[in-house]
Amino acid sequence: MSTTTSKKIAIVTGASSGIGYAITKELAQHDYIIYACARRLEPIQPLVDEFSTSIIKPYKLDISIIDEVVAFKEFLEKELPGQKLDLLYNNAGQSCTFPALDVSDANMQKCFQVNVFGHVNMCRELSKYLINAKGTIVFTGSLAGIVSFPFGSIYSATKAAIHAYARGLHLEMKPFGVRIINAVTGGVDTNISDTRPLPEGSIYEFPEGKEAFEGRQRMAKNHHPMSAEVYAKKLMGDILSSRDPVDVYRGTMATFLGFVSLFVPYCILEFALIKKFHLTKVFKVLKERNAQGKKQD
């Protein structure tokens, strides 16, 4: 049953670690009540212990399952004072670091279900609560949605999709006074990095290819990522601000690469990516293999 409260109410998905955990803590420090949603609730317990169950309310939720999203909406129907939700922070994410031709259907579907469909479903199902409160919706976007890094095409596609959705939603929610923030995120120190090996039989399954692939997996850790706590403080500033810019650039290299992507021709950007990720040797091996294959034919 709902209770009367003057505190603002927030929902954070993917609250069990990284950005979601840090955002949940930051919101609690700013006097919000937070429904901290995640597939695993045990990692959220330290926040419950620190702030109490009246502030941090863990809720087991897999946003990739529509029935669970609908059940959460029905739960909130009885929980939310005045049927109002001040903040929906769509943070849950799924990594997918594989060469474009190696991504299995199952991995592709899971990535889109979490990174795109889950957030869209959350926004649709909870929209009336946000409209009632003239609230704010935040998405954890990514530089990968602007620059398609090597071995990350599917993840980039999901982030590009959510960027486009956020911008369309921003326009359509204007009459209702609901703000939309798409946090185009650069390097942040989280555990989302994909550590799965190259699939067996990959066209990159040779020493130079494996080296480049493993280097891509370590990309965030190797470039002085911003701490999740600092990132959360910056996003808290965006949430509390009256500005309504749609896209904000947060995290290591976010502003710089966002600027570069706008003004540098893609052919130059692609050349820089080849150099940055040591793909010259990889391409040489592949070209030699291809040439030998043609000779044999």
Asked whether the beta carbons of 163 and 128 are under 8 A apart, the reply is: no
Tokens of 224: 């002085």
Asked whether the beta carbons of 78 and 1 are under 8 A apart, the reply is: yes
Residue 21 known to be catalytic: no
Catalytic pick among 8, 16, 129, 249: 16
Taking CA atoms, 50 is separated from 29, 41, 108, 229, in Å, by 11, 15, 38, 16
Cβ within 8 Å of residue 250, ≥6 positions away: 183, 184, 185, 186, 226, 231, 234, 235, 238
Residue 159 known to be catalytic: yes
Catalytic pick among 32, 59, 155, 204: 155
Catalytic pick among 35, 59, 148, 159: 159
Q: Please state whether beta strands 32-38 and 226-227 pair in parallel, antiparallel, or not at all (unpaired).
A: unpaired
- Quick count: other Cβ atoms within 10 Å of Cβ 53? 9
Whose tokens are 């399954």? That residue is 205
Rounded-to-integer distance, Cα 289 and Cα 19, Å = 43
Of the candidates 75, 190, 79, the residue with the CA atom closest to the CA atom of residue 125 = 75
Rounded-to-integer distance, Cα 27 and Cα 8, Å = 9
Rounded-to-integer distance, Cα 34 and Cα 28, Å = 7
Element (H, E) at 140: strand 136-140
Angle at 48 between CA 47 and CA 50, to 5 degrees: 60
Residue 155 known to be catalytic: yes
DSSP string, 57-71: EEEE--TT-HHHHHH
Catalytic site positions: 16, 155, 159
